[in-house]
Amino acid sequence: MLRVILATSRLDIRDSILKAIATDKQIEIVATAFNGAEAVEKTKELRPDLVLLGVSLQTLDSLEATKEIMIEAPTPIVLVFSVPDPRAVELSVRALEAGALAVTPAPPQKSGSADGTAVRKFLSTLRAMSQVKVVRRWRDRPNLKTGSKRLPTGNKSSPRIVGIAASTGGPAAVQSILAKLPGDFPAPILIVQHIASGFIEGVASWLDAAIALKVKVAEDGELLAPHVVYLAPDGHHLGVASRSRIVVADDPPINGFRPSGTYLFASMARVFGSEAVGIILTGMGNDGADGLRAVYEVDGTVLAQDETSSVVFGMPKAAIDAGIAHRVLPLDEIARTMISLVMNGC
């Protein structure tokens, strides 16, 4: 039985969630709360498998409640929203940085076939996130030695482009990496981050304010530029059309994902060949692995986050198990390796 605490000050969200969960006999609401302070206290008392936090809470907002839960009683947290307004987006992005695992729309109250699909997706998210092992935010994760293959050698030039794909735990991981890069990092960086629709602009704004590089949501046909990080927009694939142009496409999803890490990496391999660096970070599932194989096969460079520093090891593990990761690195070492490859040519 999956034991859940539900905290929201919105009665409409509360009712839609209760109605959805009532359809699954394996999920139980063990307590409800109407503000963040209650959510923290009930989490400490009841030790549930999962906490559902409404983005807009009273007393303690979702950010402060997330921080307190992750310090006092570390528990998987999923943020739930109704409409992704600017305040909700800002709080959600910062709560993800503080330890929340995912942000998802509240299930609809209607009963049509499309709404039934949305309810099943919502319940699937709860089950998946409840399995994630979380740690106290103040506890430093150990940096264990990791294995590596010999990086591609020969007469290839320094990498000219970097692609990153991430899902669960990705926003904080991406921020950690980008914050360590200098403002003159010469290669453009393209990022596919799986996140709920309506939130990627907020992620871009948050990153842009936090790091030395410029961060923006990519636009179809724009020029690739050094010192810039491009995020895939909602519901669109991100890739490169040429060595100087970005492509944003509404092609069909790849293995259920749009944007897809595989789409990004495959386009980089096709256009940049051995001058491409593909990086796969924390996330559930295996998106990106097929595209990274294309990078590997053209003598590009593939880096994977290690299990210890990943919130969810699914996406990196898929690449590692396929034998296409040149290096498996703790999160703290990825930026240094990027600088070594791109700026130092080694």
pLDDT tens column, 225-274: 999 999 999 999 999 999 999 999 999 999 999 999 999 999 999 999 99
Measure the N-to-C terminal CA separation of the chain; round to a whole number of Å: 51
Q: SS3 of 304, please?
A: strand
Q: How confident is the model at residue 83 (pLDDT cuts 50, 70, 90)?
A: confident
250's CB contacts (< 8 A; 6+ apart) are 235, 236, 237, 258
Q: Which of 113, 94, 110 is nearest to 53 (CA)?
A: 94
Q: How confident is the model at residue 141 (pLDDT cuts 50, 70, 90)?
A: very low
**Fold identical between 2-130 and 161-342?**
yes
Least confident of 33-37, 73-77, 164-168: 33-37
19's CB contacts (< 8 A; 6+ apart) are 107, 109
Q: How confident is the model at residue 214 (pLDDT cuts 50, 70, 90)?
A: very high
- Count CB-CB contacts under 10 A for residue 183: 9
- Count CB-CB contacts under 10 A for residue 250: 10
Average pLDDT, the chain: 90
Domain 161-342 sits in CATH 3.40.50.2020: no
Residue 87 token pair: 């305040």
State the burial class of residue 252 (Cβ atoms within 10 Å of its Cβ: 0-12, 13-18, 19+): exposed
Percent of the chain with pLDDT over 70: 91
Least confident of 69-83, 98-112, 186-200, 272-286: 98-112
Is the pLDDT at 133 greater than 70, yes or no?
yes
The kind and range of the H/E element at 339 are helix 331-342
CATH superfamily of 2-130: Response regulator (3.40.50.2300)
Domains of the chain, residue spans: 2-130, 161-342
Sign of CA dihedral 38, 42, 43, 44: positive
Which pLDDT belongs to residue 80? 93
Euclidean distance between CA atoms 114 and 328, whole angstroms: 40
For the annotated catalytic residues, the residue numbers are 167, 194, 287
Residue 24 token pair: 């699954």
pLDDT tens digits, 10-29: 898 999 999 999 999 999 99
Euclidean distance between CA atoms 28 and 277, whole angstroms: 44
What does pTM read for this prediction? Answer: 0.89
